[in-house]
């Protein structure tokens, strides 16, 4: 199965707990292989299978209460 990496800008994170929460929720999402989220840079890279779209990944981030753009 092919892998896809999405670079995201995430707004609203203020600490390591914030980025940890986003990472945990993303990595619990079917189709997400790895999430590397940094609150210091307000950005992250999410590696997924080709079964999940960038829009779906962004919706998961938004569900945690943070803003996101690609």
State residue 29's pLDDT score. Answer: 97
What is d(CA 28, CA 25) in angstroms, rounded to the nearest whole number? 5
Q: For the ranges 1-5, 31-35, 52-56, which has the lowest average pLDDT? A: 1-5
What is d(CA 46, CA 57) in angstroms, rounded to the nearest whole number? 8
The CATH number assigned to the domain holding 59 equals 3.30.70.100
Q: How confident is the model at residue 19 (pLDDT cuts 50, 70, 90)?
A: very high
Where in the sequence is the domain holding 15, given as residue range(s)? 3-69
How many domains does the structure of the chain reveal?
1
**Can you say whether residue 58 is alpha, beta or left, with left for phi > 0 and alpha for psi between -120 and 50 degrees?**
alpha
The proportion of the chain whose per-residue pLDDT surpasses 90, expressed as a percent, equals 97
Distances (CA, A) of 56 to 7, 14, 41, 70: 13, 24, 22, 12
State residue 17's pLDDT score. Answer: 97
State residue 51's pLDDT score. Answer: 92
Instruction: Provide the whole-model pTM.
Output: 0.93
What is d(CA 27, CA 33) in angstroms, rounded to the nearest whole number? 7
């Amino acid at each position: 199965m092919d892998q896809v990496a999405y670079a995201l800008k995430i707004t609203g994170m203020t600490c390591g707990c914030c980025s940890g929460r986003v990472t945990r929720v993303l990595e619990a999402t079917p189709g997400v292989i790895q999430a590397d989220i940094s609150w210091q840079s307000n950005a992250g890279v999410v590696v997924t299978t080709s079964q999940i779209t960038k829009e779906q990944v962004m919706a998961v981030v938004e569900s945690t209460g943070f803003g996101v753009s690609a």
